[in-house]
Amino acid sequence: MDWSLQRNFGIAAGVILGALLGLMIAQSIVLATEGFHPRGITPQLIMLPTLLVVILVNLGIGLRMVDRLVTLIAQRSQLLATGAAPGETAPARVGQVFGREQRVAATMRFPASPESARLALVKVLPSGGLPRTAYVLLPTRYGIQRNAPASVVLDPANPDVAVLDDRVDAAVLAAIAADPRWATVRVPGRFLRQGGLAVVIAFVAGLIVSLPLWILFLR
């Protein structure tokens, strides 16, 4: 998956939010020293519309990425289930289940099945690699919830996605749930896909650069 759009927006949003925090701090400084805004400007008139735009754009990008993930998982599940593409079975734990209903499920028994499903982010412990997260489609009828154990088939060609392996029995799931590694292993979250440290740096830079500019502007 190409996450460049998500990362670039995350960095841009970090700069904007840092600048808005700078505006709030500048407002407090100007009010403390001047007692009023000499320019007659209310910072909220800048902050609220800007925040609304950031939220709406983030929502649009998020929905687009979800649609791409669902399509990719459904396509790859057919190849993995039929053996047309290689896969690696790995223990997993459900980290987050997203609320938006999808119209296609994808499991090893029922690849690309036209039924109600939820997109979920699972924590995975691959046998030959570092712990990571991957997106899966969980059929609603299975009732799989957050923190539930699961078995997934990883797609080497697409490390961001996996397919639920619903061929395993309850004993395998119990063994996955009892795996002591879940208590000690740190699994990176989806924040890394959205820019990670670059977003934090952008936020701090936006704050530092904008603060003196806002003070000059408000005065």
Q: How would DSSP label each residue in 125-163?
A: --TTS--EEEEEEEEGGG---TT-EEEEEE-TT-TTBEE
Q: What are the residue boundaries of the structural domains of the chain, listed by start? A: 4-63+195-218, 86-190
pLDDT band at 49 (very low <50, low <70, confident <90, very high): confident
pLDDT at 116 over 80: yes
pTM of the model: 0.77
Burial bucket for residue 3 (CB in 10 Å: 0-12, 13-18, 19+): middle
Neighbouring C-beta atoms of residue 207, cutoff 10 Å = 20
CA–CA gap between residue 73 and residue 111 (Å, rounded): 9
Residue 50's SS3 state is: helix
Contact 154, 165 (CB under 8 A): no
pLDDT band at 153 (very low <50, low <70, confident <90, very high): very high
